[in-house]
Amino acid sequence: MSVSLEFICNLYEKTYTEVGEAIGRSPQELSNWAKQRRPIPKESLASLCDYFKVDERSIVDNKRYCKSLSKVEELNLQIDFWVKKSEDEAEEYTDLVYDPEDDKEYEVERIYFPHQEIIMELRKQKRKQMLLYKIDLLIHRYDETEGEPKLLNDIKGDFNTELFERVETVLREGSEKEIKALNTLLYILTEYGFGKPNPFEHLEGELFNDFLIALKKQGI
């Protein structure tokens, strides 16, 4: 895991000397914060947030020590960085739009935001990391009622593990039809399960409706 202040400085291509001069602190003090040796004073934390335009929860824990970042938190900071960079570097341009009714072209003012491919890729990575995180919670089942989360050894966690193993087997070894069947079943359960009505049932395919009929027979 990376540490917040070091990660943010690298992301924004800033040295501890540059940041220290901006917030009135020495490079050694920033180094001590980044190495989690000292908590960041409130005034300096506010200055850091203002300098990088980030929320304090992105930098410190509840004791104001630099936090160790999860992969999702790293991606959130990267997305935030590139979105701000895109907005700062946005350019206005004039586009020609054809109107078939008038058979004429008209000038339209538009705004171009660069770096969209990078932002889209980072958001895709975040989506995958969030999925892995949720699967981990379902498999390992943590007790977070007191202090540090503790791993539970319970039946539901074991059941979830077996369930994910079955899904993985179908995705890895299943035929195209088997994967489509699994996808259809999961689609029905997530979109129309849990007692939700299906207003578009008459538009769906035969496999879709067969699954719906089978689920309704089972009271699902």
Judged against a pLDDT cut of 90, whether residue 31 lies above it is answered with yes
Q: With bands split at pLDDT 50, 70 and 90, how would you rate the model's confidence at 120?
A: very high
Judged against a pLDDT cut of 70, whether residue 125 lies above it is answered with yes
Q: E strands along the chain, which residues? A: 2-3, 68-69, 91-99, 104-112, 142-143, 150-151
Judged against a pLDDT cut of 60, whether residue 60 lies above it is answered with yes
Judged against a pLDDT cut of 90, whether residue 29 lies above it is answered with yes
Q: Tell me, yes or no, if the pTM score tops 0.85.
A: no
- Report the mean per-residue pLDDT for the chain: 87
Region 136-152: mean pLDDT is 65
Rounded Cα gap, residues 78 and 125, in angstroms: 11
Helix then strand count (H, E) for the chain reads 9, 6
The CATH class of the 2-69 domain is mainly alpha
Rounded Cα gap, residues 156 and 138, in angstroms: 8
Rounded Cα gap, residues 70 and 129, in angstroms: 10
Region 116-145: mean pLDDT is 87
What pLDDT, on the 0 to 100 scale, is given for residue 121?
A: 98
